[in-house]
Amino acid sequence: MTPVESDFEVEHSMTKKLSEMTLEELCQLFPIILTGHQPQWKAWYREEESLLLSRLQGIVRISHIGSTAISGIWAKPIIDILLEVPADAALTEYKAPIQAAGYICM
């Protein structure tokens, strides 16, 4: 495939809904890049944990999850964090402070 054909396919795929895209189109838009384990990932998580705990009230538990939490394996270089709140918490009250801290709610 030439660069022009590739650009056309990416541009064309932008007009589709994600649910309508093929796996190949999704991989072009969202490539998965793996890297060897990096020792600094643990420190990065600790920094984010500290930030989140200082900005959010009522956190029951916060955990470093995903492949970057496992020493010795290849991973996407993205630190995944799980926040647990009380079962009866109003989740909408957490969205604004999380976004104000620079995160994207997914």
pLDDT digits (tens, 9 = 90+) for 64-77: 999 999 999 999 99
* Cα distances (Å, whole numbers) of residue 36 to 20, 40, 47, 64, 81: 33, 12, 21, 17, 19
* pLDDT of amino acid 5: 52
More confident residue, 11 or 66: 66
Q: Quick one: average pLDDT of 8-30?
A: 79
Interval 22-39: pLDDT, tens: 999 998 998 999 999 999
Segment holding 82, helix H or strand E: strand 80-84
* pLDDT of amino acid 87: 94
* pLDDT of amino acid 47: 96
